[in-house]
Amino acid sequence: MKHMTGNEEKIPDFSDLTCTNLMIRLKMLLKKTPAGVPVECYVRRDQKDTVEVPFSRSGYEVKVHKADTNRYRVSLTKVGQDMDP
C-alpha cells in the first residue's frame, strides 16, 4: 500500500496469484485502507483486465501504468465511504 512516488520495491507483486486470489487479496487490503488512500500492486495483463472493470464500477478510482511487456502497476483508491467491491 504505497503512493505512486517511486518506491517500486515496496509495492507488492501479485503477478504469481490467480485472478481469483488476486481479487480476494485486493478486497482484503482495500477493506483495511481508508478512503482516499491508494492500494497499489503489480499484476500481469490478464489480471489487470480482471481488476480494472469491476473496481471502476464499484466506487474505486483505478489507475493503470504499464511497467513492461506483461506487467502493470495498478492503483485502486476508494472514492467514497462504506463502499465494497
Q: What is the pLDDT of residue 9?
A: 65
Instruction: Give me the phi and psi of 15, to 5 degrees please.
Output: -65, -15
51: Cα within 13 Å, side-chain hemisphere = 34
* pLDDT score recorded for residue 79: 84
Give a yes or no: residue 30 inside a domain: yes
Is 80 or 41 the better-scoring residue by pLDDT? 41
pLDDT in tens, 1-48: 334 445 556 999 999 999 999 999 999 999 999 989 999 999 999 999
- Looking at residue 65, what is its pLDDT? 96
Number of domains comprising the chain = 1
Query: Do the domain assignments include residue 47?
Result: yes
Is the residue at 85 inside a domain?
Answer: no
* Domain containing residue 55: CATH number: 3.30.110.40
Q: How many CB atoms lie within 10 A of CB 68?
A: 7
Structural domain boundaries, residue 36: 8-78
